[in-house]
């Protein structure tokens, strides 16, 4: 895992501190060229990993990268799926059946047969495989060494105690995509318990980790104890607690958690990317693969 991981919230009107700023970012990044310029800035500053949702516009970014392979040598993308709003909007606009036809991959007849059987038997694992395949189509030819399951699904499954889903997801991603499974959550200690219990060893878990305990289900002390004593690969996100912690103070806190070797952050200007990336490289010890 790279120490510095660049995120995509700023591109899709997500700002945990200010709705007004989110709207301004949405206007700024409605043009694909504006998004590409920021990604190019990150690349030129030595950032080589982009962690993103499967928003439809990510497909345009992948098209650009496939068309310019020399420009993005060594660049990796960590897809995070599913992009829930995409499916919710499609069901609203098209209806459930047409939404399935739109997103499921493969021949239409075979896909609908498999999907119909899965739905009829409530075989959520089969549905998961179909949707992973659908989401991964846009990343054809792109290096995707880790594929993440979004917290909206992870935390829902935790609440429903559908633990077998996690092991099935991990097995499918490893087998079909030769990638490591990753999991995003707002309750890292609980998720780690479940993953270990269903046989997913030393998992990659991305979660909020910050000095204020912002969005850290179970509390900061439990997170610190879990990170210090358990075997897994944590990625820290929301380290600034939505802007409540100054950057150096935030990264210094993360640096004191000796098993955290990767930090995910978003930024919309070259100056902010440079500042944050340099702080991370200065203070965080690189980890293993």
- Please tell me the CATH superfamily of domain 4-82+144-283, with its number: NADP-dependent oxidoreductase domain (3.20.20.100)
Q: What is the pLDDT of residue 8?
A: 94
Structure tokens at 3: 């120490």
Q: For the chain, what percent of residues have pLDDT higher than 70?
A: 81
217 within 8 A of 187, measured Cβ to Cβ: yes
66 within 8 A of 142, measured Cβ to Cβ: yes
Q: What is the pLDDT of residue 75?
A: 98
Q: What is the pLDDT of residue 108?
A: 41
What contacts 269, CB < 8 A, 6 or more positions away? 38, 41
Distance CA 155, CA 147 (A): 17
Q: Which residues of the chain have pLDDT under 70?
A: 13-26, 84-123, 288-289
Concatenating the DSSP letter of every residue in 241-263 gives: TTTTS-HHHHHHHHHTSTT--EE
Domain ranges (residues) in the chain: 4-82+144-283
260 within 8 A of 234, measured Cβ to Cβ: yes
Question: For the whole model, what pTM was predicted?
Answer: 0.87
Q: What is the pLDDT of residue 117?
A: 45
Q: Angle at CA 274, nearest 5°, toward 268 and 276?
A: 85
């Amino acid at each position: 895992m790279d120490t510095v991981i660049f995120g995509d919230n700023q591109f899709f009107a997500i700002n945990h501190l200010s709705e007004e700023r989110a709207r301004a970012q949405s206007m700024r990044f409605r043009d694909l060229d504006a998004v590409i310029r920021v990604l190019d800035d990150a690349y030129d500053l030595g950032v080589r990993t982009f962690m993103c949702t499967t928003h439809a516009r990510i497909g345009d970014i992948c098209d650009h990268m496939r068309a310019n392979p020399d420009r993005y040598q060594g660049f990796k993308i960590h897809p995070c799926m599913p992009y829930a709003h995409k499916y919710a909007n499609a069901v609203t606009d098209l209806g459930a059946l047409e939404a399935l036809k739109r997103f499921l991959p493969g021949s239409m007849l075979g896909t609908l047969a498999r999907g119909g059987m899965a739905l009829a038997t409530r075989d959520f694992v089969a549905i998961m495989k179909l949707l992973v395949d659908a989401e991964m189509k846009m990343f054809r030819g792109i290096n995707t060494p880790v594929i993440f399951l979004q917290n909206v699904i992870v935390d829902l499954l935790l609440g429903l105690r559908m633990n077998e889903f996690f092991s099935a997801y991990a097995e499918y991603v490893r087998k079909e995509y030769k990638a490591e499974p990753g999991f995003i959550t707002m309750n890292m200690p609980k998720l780690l318990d479940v993953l270990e219990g269903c046989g997913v060893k030393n998992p990659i878990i991305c979660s909020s980790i910050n000095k204020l305990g912002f969005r850290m289900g179970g509390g900061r002390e439990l997170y610190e104890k879990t990170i210090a004593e358990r075997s897994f690969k944590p990625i820290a996100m929301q380290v600034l607690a939505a802007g409540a912690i100054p950057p150096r103070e935030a990264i210094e806190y993360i640096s004191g958690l000796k098993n955290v070797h990767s930090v995910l952050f978003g930024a919309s200007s070259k100056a902010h990317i440079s500042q944050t990336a340099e702080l991370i490289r200065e203070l965080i010890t690189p980890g293993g693969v």
